[in-house]
Homo-oligomer: A and B are copies of this chain.
Amino acid sequence: MELGLLYSGGKDSTLAALLLDEFYDVQLVTAHFGVTDDWKHARETANRIGFAFNRLDLERAVAEEAIARIREDGFPRNGIQYVHQHALEALAAEGFDAIADGTRRDDRVPTVSRAQAQSLEDRYDVDYVAPLSGFGRTAVDRLVEATLEVTVGPSEEIKRADYEAELRTLIAAEDGPEAVEAWFPAHEQTYVTDVQQLTAKRTE
How many copies altogether? Answer: 2
Say whether A22 contacts B200, CB under 8 Å: yes
A90-110 interface code vs B (CB 8 A; 1 in, 0 out): 000000011000010110000
Complex Cα distance, B99 from A136, in Å, reads 12
Complex Cα distance, B138 from A121, in Å, reads 9
- Shortest distance between the CB of A5 and any CB in chain B (Å): 12
Task: List the B side residues contacting A147 at CB < 8 Å.
Answer: 23
A162-204 interface code vs B (CB 8 A; 1 in, 0 out): 0000000000000000000000000000000000001111111
Task: List the B side residues contacting A25 at CB < 8 Å.
Answer: 201
Say whether B114 contacts A105, CB under 8 Å: yes
Complex Cα distance, B97 from A202, in Å, reads 20
- Interface segment, A76-84, A122-130, A153-161? A122-130
Given A23-B146, A134-B130: A202 touches B117 (CB 8 Å cut-off) = no
Give the one of A1, A128, A134 with max B CB within 10 A. Answer: A134
- Shortest distance between the CB of A138 and any CB in chain B (Å): 6
- Shortest distance between the CB of A120 and any CB in chain B (Å): 10
Q: Is the interface of A mostly helix, strand, loop or mixed?
A: loop
Say whether B135 contacts A129, CB under 8 Å: yes
| CB-nearest residue of chain B to A21 | B202
Task: List the B side residues contacting A50 at CB < 8 Å.
Answer: 202
Given A23-B147, A127-B142: A134 touches B136 (CB 8 Å cut-off) = no
Say whether A143 contacts B23, CB under 8 Å: yes
Task: List the B side residues contacting A133 at CB < 8 Å.
Answer: 105, 133-134
A58 adjacent to chain B (CB < 8 Å):
no
Task: List the B side residues contacting A6 at CB < 8 Å.
Answer: none
Q: Chain A residues in contact with chain B, CB under 8 A? A: 1, 18-19, 21-23, 25, 50-51, 97-98, 103, 105-106, 114, 117-118, 121, 127-136, 138-139, 142-143, 146-147, 198-204
